[in-house]
Chains A and B, each alone.
Chain A
């Protein structure tokens, strides 16, 4: 088993509707989630098992900076005549995914994946499920619902696309946090989604292009927060697995990507760098002198030189920092699997192309594709640099609509390298990944939907004839054990059958 056991994406989506009335985005988000037509289990998510206040550095914060906002939102939401559970409207799907209203955004969480191909397919499956919701809701209410897979409204209100990587607890947190910092800060050169604005929290600051959507919104090096004073490294200690054996590295510093190539490169390189760290925690990687300043200066560098100051070393470029990590991966990771070898080659090619001419990557990377597309249109239309039209085009790049979205048009035109086939994405709408614990969750949802009492990432509980059947997924990561559980859930005709097959005591 690889040290990086599994990974997944959780993407918050922007929502808007063609109407003259003032929109309540929370109500829109709830309605959107409730428009889902895919079969699944509604409002059975087990919130008791969640604890966002636990800090991996060994303490528990008494409150998050966002708790005040949460209390205010709760006060507003209490006027809705909906319960907390109804506001969340959690839907656990037969493909193992979670889909719900998170604060004020529909959020699609992919099932846990162990291959880059599965992750891409499930990210794309999420787009399809969201688009189906938008169509359904539009028909129901008679006005067009627009969904955006981006991270900002250009007025300083950002929402996230988080990544999760399950890895062994044996990697000391200090080594992990110190060594991955420069990687996370510099990977925006290929993982950024591009943005025609400079923002600050709750504010538009200036027009102009930068390579990342999210880099304006980070002001801490490490913390447990996610909504205010966001940290480069999030310290939430919530493994959703056996906490004695595992940690979940929760990355909140990343843009939502439309390009499957960019998504794969973002997830794949991060997983491999984590694996290199697990395999050699003592290896030294570059240390940034001022990581927060570097995050913004790289994103806003209009010359794409991306020079940053290091501790105890001369200034260097983000490309060269990435090459250091590439070397570490080549030396310390098992690259025998074809998809890993291919990923590393693609990473190297992108770094080489970015160093020669960034525009060589316009067929693969979101920020370059967006920049090229909009700048050429801007020149043709004689649009001024401060015209908000540029932001509208930026917004529509991320539109989740095959018939109107600009990214999808680029893809359909043949301007982007092929990503996931439509057939593969469609298959992932209904089928969980075969090689992770998500298979057990997804198949239980498919087969015993009406018997599901509770669901979480690390367990699922069914109502049996002889009482509740809690199937723990806390330690279910070894391939042979997953296969055993998979055969059991495939063979079981009733929840009681499953109880017997996987030895759940009465």
Chain B
């Protein structure tokens, strides 16, 4: 598991960008800067605190 400082610094390809990832979506060059910004801001422990009661 990476340490917290590493977790806040993305270093590789952006979602929707190049690399050896999946094929390109059929849309024009998505602007992913804002998405990356939001992903970096996600608290890695957010899901640990998220507890719900069973519903239907």
Q: Interface of A with B (CB < 8 Å)? A: 12, 14-16, 23, 25-26, 69, 102-105, 148, 152-155, 157-160, 162, 201-202, 226-228, 252, 357-360, 362-363, 372-373, 375-377, 379-384, 386-389, 391-396, 404-406, 409-410, 412-417
A-B pair number, CB within 8 angstroms:
178
| Residue in B26, B34, B50 with the greatest tally of chain A CB atoms within 10 Å | B50
Known interface pairs A104-B55, A160-B55. Does A413 touch B35 (Cβ–Cβ under 8 Å)?
yes
Q: A379-B12, A404-B38, A414-B30 are in contact. Are A252 and B56 (CB under 8 A)?
A: yes
- Could you say which of A357, A391, A414 contacts B27, with CB atoms under 8 Å apart? A414
A377 proximity list for chain B (CB < 8 A)? 10, 15, 36, 39
Find out whether the CB atom of B22 lies under 8 angstroms from the CB atom of A357.
yes
Quote the shortest CB–CB distance from B12 to chain A (angstroms). Answer: 3
B55 near A159 (CB under 8 angstroms)?
yes
Q: Which 9 A-B pairs have the closest CB atoms?
A: A359-B22, A159-B55, A380-B12, A363-B25, A415-B30, A391-B47, A104-B53, A389-B44, A392-B46
Beyond A359-B23, A363-B27, A376-B17, whether A162 also contacts B56 by CB under 8 A is: yes
Chain B residues positioned under 8 Å from A392 (CB to CB): 42-48
Residues of A within 8 A of B17 (CB): 376
A406 pairs with B52, CB closer than 8 A = no
Q: Is the interface of A mostly helix, strand, loop or mixed?
A: mixed
Determine whether the beta carbon of A105 is less than 8 Å from that of B22. Answer: no
Complex: how many Å from CA A227 to CA B53? 11
Contacts of B51 in A (CB 8 A): 23, 25, 153, 155, 157
A358 to B34, CA, bound (A): 25
Check A415–B32 contact: CB distance below 8 A: yes
Residues from chain B with a CB closer than 8 A to the CB of A373 are: 15-16, 35, 39
C-alpha spacing A319/B18, complex, angstroms? 28
Fill in one digit per residue for B4-23: 1 if any A CB lies within 8 Å of its CB, else 0.
Answer: 00110111111111010111
A-B contact pairs, 8 of them (CB 8 A): A153-B51, A158-B55, A379-B19, A406-B38, A413-B31, A413-B32, A415-B16, A415-B35
With a cutoff of 8 Å between Cβ atoms, the chain A residues found around residue B22 in the complex are 357-359, 362, 372
Q: Are B10 and A25 in contact (CB under 8 A)?
A: no
Q: Which of A103, A154, A387 contacts B53 (CB 8 A)?
A: A103
CB of A388 within 8 A of CB of B47, answer yes
Given contacts A104-B52, A157-B54, A413-B31, contact A383 B12 (CB under 8 A): no
A375: chain B residues at CB < 8 Å are 21
Name which residue of chain A comes closest to B33, CB basis.
A413
Task: Contact check, A158 vs B15: say whether CB atoms are below 8 A apart.
Answer: no
A16 to B51, CA, bound (A): 8
Whether A413 pairs with B16 at a CB distance below 8 angstroms is: yes
Given the contacts A376-B19, A380-B10, A412 and B34 also touching, CB distance less than 8 Å: yes
Q: What's the least CB distance linking B19 to chain A, in Å?
A: 7
